[in-house]
Amino acid sequence: MDERKLRGLVDRVKAGRLSRRGFVQRLVAAGLTAPLATQLLAHAGVAMAQAKSTYKPTKRGGGGLLKVLWWQGPTLLNPHFAVGTKDQDGSRLFYEPLAAWDPEGNLRPKLAAAIPSREDGSVAADGKSVVWKLKQGVTWHDGKPFTADDVVFTWEFARNPATAATSSGSYADVTVEKVDAYTVKVSFPRPTPFWADAFVGWAGCIIPKHLFGDYAGEKSREAPTNLKPVGTGPYMFKDFKPGDLVSGVINPHYHEPNRPHFDAIEMKGGGDAVSAARAVLQTGEYHFAWNMQVEDEVLQRLEKGGKGRIIIVPGGSIEHIQLNSTDPWTEVDGERSSLKTKHPTLSDPAVRQAVALLVDKDSVQKYIYGRTGLATANFINNPERFRSKTTRYEFNVDKANELLDKAGWARGSDGIRAKDGKRLKFLFQTSINQPRQKTQAIIKQACQKAGIDLELKAVTSSVFFSSDVANPDTYPHFYADLQEYNNGMNAPDPEVFLRQFCSWEAATKENKWQGRNITRWQNQEYDDTHKAAQVELDPIKRAALLIKLNELAVNNIVVIPLVARPQVVAAANGLQAEISGWDNNTWDLANWYRDG
């Protein structure tokens, strides 16, 4: 069943014109299993209830040790240097933002006393400012008081170009001022409909001025607190072995009453996704495991172990392939994939179109992801109001061959196409992970039939997603022609997520490869459209602009979306943990508890 028909059936269920049972029956008739059909509905947001418990703990602590497993272990514990969710999740054990996103896409206060609103005047009617009231009586883990000074400092720290913070995009264009000890005002240079960016979610975590104040700018990487965090969160730092183990003990002075419910936490890193799933679902050695990038068939088999269950939560993540817009094989001023170059073969639109036609997304979904991934033509798939209805995907080897023939890419004696002395041979890299290696193999096989030679490279996850600016094998360096991984929206609004294709966000040596634009694509129409979306207060017009951004990135084949992926985690049967597809796994850690 193609994506258009599937989306049509989902829309009918949402409109009440088709029952859930009828939806499942139709997909079963089309060859899908009933569990997969049910999970596709859940992924579309029709219904997705996380396991609830009637038991509620009534005191702080008493839950013993919480053992969680991140098969890509955090490599640092400063949220503003976080590269990927592993570092963000690890940092959120100790640090907190002013507000976080819940599973329904609503803001919940953390260090804020309340969520700003138009009704009470804290969100300005002209969209140019927002006032945050801070929670009083909050202390840092070392006993120092949390105040507006820390919020203002966090803004100054993250926006400083010399700091090279991964969160800089959330702070560079705003002004933050202290109103009083427990009030800050965030001002925008223009009307800003999506004001809940700075100080919200992972990029919004507040760091203590009294510990980072001497390490701003170029000295920021030297701060001892980067590895020994002092935050306001539910757990206090105990030990950290980068890539291996993060541990913490209960914060006896945590600002939420009777929270947290565990006495200590251990976040173990390393291994792989399958072993992490087994450790929760089959052996019960751990209570929680992050990011089940595992074939669905394997997950279903492990769930029969009876120790845990898989939780699937709708969100905005997308498994995708990036195409390098620059030349990864030519060095300019000590930098490969430099903005001063263009890719020697992928710069040909016909080559990009051919590559897209050689990606068999339906097979990737059917044989690898199952209920944990839906083949898609879109980079933005959720929330529904931001999903393009015009994009299409197709797997067609014959059409790819025709395109390349017409563009003058002729086959050589070895069957590989070439033109003007340039061969269609690409290095396709991703992290070591069974679903991704199987995806690579599916694509390589199709490319061979079209005269394209793919060299496959698999990098250890701890290296590929590392924050090490000196390591050329990290994904932000992108020293390859193609690469695959998953990333997602950290809010139920795609504006910030879509910055990753803006020219000014390019990852370069100058910004220590911390820019969000990994493909290095430069497109004036995209830049102008994004800037227009940033100031459009009409929600319908703004949604249209954001949809256009998705279409520009997809139709120009800057990226090839593979499968839209919900948040997929493993949890012990007794663990009650509210997971959000719009925020970090650890966003609500203070409220986790065990009822068995």
CATH number at residue 583: 3.40.190.10
Q: Final residue of a domain: which of 223, 255, 282?
A: 223
Q: How many domains does the chain have?
A: 4
Question: Where is average pLDDT lowest: 32-36, 80-84, 108-112, 263-267?
Answer: 32-36
Q: Is residue 582 located within the same domain as residue 560?
A: no
**Residue 8 binned pLDDT confidence (cut-offs 50, 70, 90):** low
Clarify whether residues 74 and 1 are in a common domain: no
Q: With respect to residue 202, please indicate whether it lies within any of the assigned structural domains.
A: yes
Share above pLDDT 90 across residues of the chain, in percent, rounded to a whole number: 81
The mean pLDDT value for 578-592 works out to 95
113 plus 152 within the same structural domain: yes
Q: Are residues 294 and 337 in the same domain?
A: no
> Same structural domain for residues 412 and 472?
yes
pLDDT at 3: 58
pLDDT of 322 above 70 = yes
pLDDT reported for residue 271: 87
At what angle are helices 20-29 and 34-43 packed, to 10 degrees? 130
Q: Are residues 540 and 450 in the same domain?
A: yes
Note whether 504 and 591 are same-domain residues: no
Residue 52 lies in a domain: no
Cα–Cα distance for residue pair 176/182, rounded to 1 Å: 13
CA distance 287 to 264: 13
Residues 436 and 559 in one domain: yes
Q: Strand, coil or helix: what is 416?
A: coil
pLDDT at position 49, please?
A: 40
Give the pLDDT of residue 596. 65
* Band of pLDDT at residue 520, cut at 50, 70 and 90: very high
Lowest mean pLDDT of 2-6, 91-95, 407-411, 577-581, name the range.
Answer: 2-6
Residue 124: domain span: 98-223
Question: Do 66 and 267 meet the contact criterion of CB atoms below 8 Å apart?
Answer: no
Secondary element (H or E) of residue 91? helix 85-91
Looking at residue 170, which CATH number applies to its domain?
A: 3.90.76.10
Considering the domain architecture, whether residues 531 and 582 belong to the same structural domain is answered as no
* Residue range 383-435, pLDDT digits in tens: 999 999 999 999 999 999 999 999 999 999 999 999 999 999 999 999 998 99
- Whether 228 maps to a domain, the answer reads no
Same domain? For 540 and 581 the reply is no
pLDDT at 535 over 50: yes
Q: What's the pLDDT at 47? A: 40
Q: Which of 167, 189, 223 is the last residue of a domain?
A: 223
Cα 596 from Cα 593, distance rounded (Å): 9
Based on the fold, state whether residues 410 and 292 are members of the same structural domain: no
Q: What is the pLDDT of residue 39?
A: 55
Question: CB-based contacts of 544: which residues, under 8 Å, 6+ apart?
Answer: none
Cβ 361 vs Cβ 372: under 8 Å:
no
Write out pLDDT tens, residues 455-481.
999 999 889 988 788 899 999 999 999
Of the three residues 223, 250, 269, the one that is the final residue of a domain is: 223
Q: Output the average pLDDT for the chain.
A: 92
Do 381 and 456 fall into the same domain? Answer: yes
Residue 4 lies in a domain: yes
For residue 15, the model assigns a pLDDT of: 43
Average pLDDT over residues 322-336: 96
Q: Does some domain include residue 117?
A: yes
**Which residues are CB-contacts of 547 (< 8 A; sequence separation ≥ 6)?**
380, 386, 387, 388
**pLDDT above 60 (res 567):** yes
